[in-house]
Amino acid sequence: MQRLTPQEEQCARDLLETVPIVMRMIRKQVRKHGASTLSVPQFRTLSFVNRRKGASLSEVADHIGLTLPSMSGLVDGLVTHGYITRKTQQEDRRKMNLMLTERGEKMLHVAREGAVTELSERLKRIQPNERATILRAMRILGEVFPEEKL
Amino acid sequence: MQRLTPQEEQCARDLLETVPIVMRMIRKQVRKHGASTLSVPQFRTLSFVNRRKGASLSEVADHIGLTLPSMSGLVDGLVTHGYITRKTQQEDRRKMNLMLTERGEKMLHVAREGAVTELSERLKRIQPNERATILRAMRILGEVFPEEKL
DNA sequence: TATTGTTATACTCTATAACTATA
DNA sequence: TATAGTTATAGAGTATAACAATA
């Protein structure tokens, strides 16, 4: 653990201050458009399963960054709401096969597009070069924190 | 609700994808250094009360962006852990006066500096101009989402 | 009557420990 | 024995509705 430059430190402090605020905004939008029934982790789970159809529980837990029991419970909720199906794999009967239902696909789409639209409305207020800065920052952060990636 | 430019939309999608990842990292660091007893909302609450000593419950709830009952419960936990004191105001006996205890001040300091240090370590891996981009982005985002501000 | 705060209730998030079933 | 997943348990986050106390 080496000495920190002021810039490194200030950058960290700003992240610590700003990210939770943006997170709260995102949570609000996802809930609003997810008919009040989707949390952010549920939303991210649907999103992942949509891209990796048939993923196992462990795979999803890894990518979302939850423990297996936590993910198991989270998926319980998604199954109960009819957004996901959970079937035992034939090749290895210890593993699950997760798939979105039609209802789940619809909900994911509605929640995502709703949240994107509202966030975009906010982002209209700033200048194009400012949006470009945010975009670049998100790409950089995505590389700095890769193991926690969606 | 007007038509979105591709840039506005892409910026929103990137926020939606990246912010939860960074948030998870922050949560992990705060917990790690907060001796596993501080959540991010609790951390933010301590931080706010530290700056606005004697704040009322409503003031804190407003600034953190929680409902009164939620904040009441959150503060319950902080009082139980001995990080905060809660006293009725003399001028208006409906209101509370929240203050950090010495223990609370110490915990806030340890949690914040620990999280900042670890985040900074990550940020060492990138170039100074990339850190500058992140810093600028955080400042811009802080202005775009002002009502939810810390 | 309006404001401040708490209690009751009910979800979700999240973890650890203990367990079951399969390989 | 090792892996995949569930169940049990527990504390925190969060909201709405109903309530008490104060102004």
**Per-block mean pLDDT, blocks of 10 residues, chain B (150 long):** 84 92 85 77 95 96 94 96 94 96 93 89 94 96 69
Q: Which residues of chain B does A143 touch, with a Cβ-Cβ cutoff of 8 Å?
A: 126
Is A68 an interface residue toward B (CB < 8 Å)?
no
**Which pLDDT value is given to residue A150?**
34
A39 CB-to-strand C distance under 7 Å:
yes
Q: Is this structure's pTM higher than 0.75?
A: yes
From the CA of A8 to the C1' of C8: give the distance in Å: 47
Rounded CA-CA distance B90/A133 in Å is: 49
Its sign, for the CA torsion B26, B29, B30, B31, is positive
Q: Give dist(CA A74, CA A105) in Å, integer.
A: 17
**Rounded to whole angstroms, what are the CA distances from A133 to A119, A130, A142, B24?**
16, 5, 14, 22
Q: What is the pLDDT of residue B4?
A: 86
Let me know: does A123 contact A85? Beta carbons within 8 Å.
Answer: no
What per-residue confidence (pLDDT) applies to A27? 86
What is the count of residue pairs from A and B with beta carbons less than 8 Å apart? Answer: 182
- A63: pLDDT strictly greater than 60: yes
